[in-house]
Structure 1
Amino acid sequence: MASKVPFVTFNNGQKFPIFGLGTWKSKPGEVKEAVKYAISIGYRHIDCAHIYENEPEIGSALSEVFKEGIVKREELYITSKLWNTMHRPDLVEPAIKTTLKNLQLEYLDLYLIHWPFALKEEGALFPTNPDGTTAYSDVDYLDTWKAMEAVQKKGLTKSIGVSNFNKKQLERLLQNSTIPPATNQIEVHPYLNQKKLIDYCTSKKIVITAYSPLGSPDRPWAKPGDPQLLDDPKIVALGKKYKKTPAQVVLKYQVQRGNITIPKSVTKSRILQNFDIWDFNLTAEDIALLDSFDCNGRICPYDDAFSHKDHPFSRDEY
């Protein structure tokens, strides 16, 4: 099955699978078996992050699949992300080394700045002020990026990129860097199709990685009555047309747009179902229909840091 997954090519020539397993919200005790199962059926890209606090267990899964001969290291593509409290340049190399130790790897295939804004260093992962508000740091993401370039040059990661950056932040980064970001990992689904930002990134040879492509129905802050993407009658109808599930339809929508797509699941049947999208293609009309659902329906706004000067969604900027 692995051979069915197309590859995209980054601006540095590295090839990367267009489909992978997301691990946000995958609990310890569940994520190890999920990763092992996904790899056994053909997933070759695992998306991780320090803040998910499950990298040691993912590392255990990776170690086992290598020992069992299921895959070789060079056949897997592992992404991780630098957390906001580690933006200070002197903290970047220790951060990636911690991730490598946790994942039991010698190198990453892709390392991202998780968000463009920095939080107070050397304390809690979600630092707060005495009044309970989020504690900020004034580290400039351009300085963080220089340290990201350094860890790539040292061979600790093959590619570097960003996540949740808006157009203005990407423009500034491109003007002040020697290595352009390989990808911008952003929230993308039919209710937030990100067409403007995707078009801009494509023009700059920055690949899009789509997170929460299923609309993140299990997000912790979901409220009763929030729209559920996979229950949308028009998406359900498309599923019936193609004899596919609503999830398979919206995943294929991203893949056909050329976006790396990383749905999260720890349920074997869903991991398998999410991967079963290579035997059909949506028509141009159906893609246009899905495009028309856009309502700026962002579900991961990071409101707790909305007043930070580098918050990517707090200004009128896509």
Structure 2
Amino acid sequence: MSAHAAKLLSQAHPISKLPSTLVSVWLLANMAATSDQGFAVPVLPLSSGKPMPRVGLGTASFPHCEDGDQPHVRDAVLRGIDAGYRHFDTAAVYGTERAIGDAAAEAVRAGTLASRDELYITSKLWIADAHPGRVLPALRKTLRNLQMEYVDLYLVHFPVSMKPQEGGAGAILVKEDLVAMDMKGVWEEMEECHRQGLAKAIGVSNFACKKLEYLLSFAQIIPAVNQQVEVHLYCRQNKLRAFCREKGIQLCAYSPLGGKGAPWANNSVMESPIIKQIAQDIGKTVAQVCIRWVYEQGDCVIPKSFNDKRMRENLDIFDWELTDDARHKISSLPEFRGTYDFFVHDSGPYKTAEEFWDDEIAAGHPAN
């Protein structure tokens, strides 16, 4: 067992709440090493479904596009599979579900994968379909796009709804049509997705503690993951992580490198002289330092790169650790959130970005 694995088991981490048989699976995975074919990615068992690979490949691009033939995404997923990725993250609004499905089918035909079951596929419910009566149809559409019988994890993408749009879950956001989510009604249908076997695990995304606590007050099935929350060295999410650990919910990080290219991006993470110096001192890339830090917190992490070299570098984080000095420097960094006003409108349920995020972390920019 690695020192870090022992540390996690000694903490109030979700893994400590699981049966001993699943803990054994996790321990074996955490002792995984690189192979000639690629990297064997450690996994974490969730409260439901199969274990989730600790590092996945994100497929969002901005602006989002209509779901269809995207050969660059399909090719990137195939190259990711060759590199060792098995966890792929998508969403109805990203427009990449079909490309991921095409890549999975091609990998099985080529013998790279024995079956689709070797993959861990996450997708998300778009806000236009976050209404009672629309959740199951939305998931079925996702499954048609993916050409799969189930997703491993299905998430409520944001804690807000939008009036249904003509054509379903397109990428168009109409801020004037934002409405409060019937969270109880939506979650009941998410639970039905799980009961029908269409989603092996269910969870939420971009929920702060207050909203997550409200959901837990009525949920019959506890979210397996509060996934797709912004986590990086300048947005460490200690409060949310502690809350999730207490409730046995796994945290997963998006934008571990600061979200370069996204509307909320700030390149201060990758350009930080402090992080650059840490990387230089230990002989790693800045991205590897950022991803390794998230990994050491016990989180799953979803970096996004379609570059072969960087995809492999982003997986090369399992057989080394940050130094105590590096961890101390990181813990002393100022915090900021890459806030955005997508879901803020005078007529909507959230009038400010602070309301949307429950004032859990102040917006701002890091000091270099």
TM-score by length of 1: 0.91
2:246 pairs with 1:208 = no
- 2:82 aligned to which of 24, 34, 40: 40
- The answer to whether the 8 A contact 1:187-1:211 is kept is yes
* Number of the residue aligned with 1:126: 172
2:193 pairs with 1:151 = yes
Counterpart Cα distance in 2 of 1:253 and 1:202: 17
Task: Spell out the pairing of 1:180-259 with structure 2 (5 A cutoff).
Answer: 180-185=222-227, 186-220=229-263, 226-259=266-299
Inter-CA distance 227–272: structure 2 relative to 1 (3 Å threshold)? closer
Letter in 2 for 1:15: P
2:128 pairs with 1:85 = yes
Letter in 2 for 1:20: G
Give, in angstroms, the shift of residue 309 of structure 1.
2.6
Counterpart Cα distance in 1 of 2:177 and 2:335: 31
Counterpart Cα distance in 1 of 2:40 and 2:78: 19
Inter-CA distance 294–99: structure 2 relative to 1 (3 Å threshold)? farther
Task: Spell out the pairing of 1:163-174 with structure 2 (5 A cutoff).
Answer: 163-174=205-216
Letter in 2 for 1:281: E
Moved more, 163-172 or 302-311: 302-311
Letter in 2 for 1:231: E
2:50 pairs with 1:14 = yes
- The answer to whether the 8 A contact 1:44-1:76 is kept is yes
Letter in 1 for 2:223: P
Counterpart Cα distance in 2 of 1:13 and 1:304: 32
- 2:356 aligned to which of 283, 307, 313: 313
Give, in angstroms, the shift of residue 174 of structure 1.
0.7
- The answer to whether the 8 A contact 1:134-1:304 is kept is no
- The answer to whether the 8 A contact 1:121-1:137 is kept is no
Inter-CA distance 262–314: structure 2 relative to 1 (3 Å threshold)? closer
- The answer to whether the 8 A contact 2:208-2:358 is kept is no
* Number of the residue aligned with 2:61: 25
Q: CA RMSD in A?
A: 2.0
2:62 pairs with 1:55 = no
Give, in angstroms, the shift of residue 255 of structure 1.
0.7
* Number of the residue aligned with 2:324: 284
- The answer to whether the 8 A contact 2:39-2:316 is kept is no
Inter-CA distance 105–294: structure 2 relative to 1 (3 Å threshold)? farther
Structure of greater relative contact order (alpha carbons < 8 Å, 6+ residues apart): 1
Inter-CA distance 304–9: structure 2 relative to 1 (3 Å threshold)? same
2:142 pairs with 1:106 = no
SS for the counterpart of 1:213 is coil
Q: Deviations over 1:129-153 (max 9, x none)?
A: xxxx431134412211110000000
Counterpart Cα distance in 1 of 2:256 and 2:153: 20
- The answer to whether the 8 A contact 1:181-1:206 is kept is yes
Give, in angstroms, the shift of residue 221 of structure 1.
5.9
* Number of the residue aligned with 1:137: 179
Give, in angstroms, the shift of residue 229 of structure 1.
1.0
Paired residue total: 309
- The answer to whether the 8 A contact 1:7-1:18 is kept is yes
Counterpart Cα distance in 1 of 2:263 and 2:349: 26
Give, in angstroms, the shift of residue 202 of structure 1.
0.8
Give, in angstroms, the shift of residue 315 of structure 1.
3.6
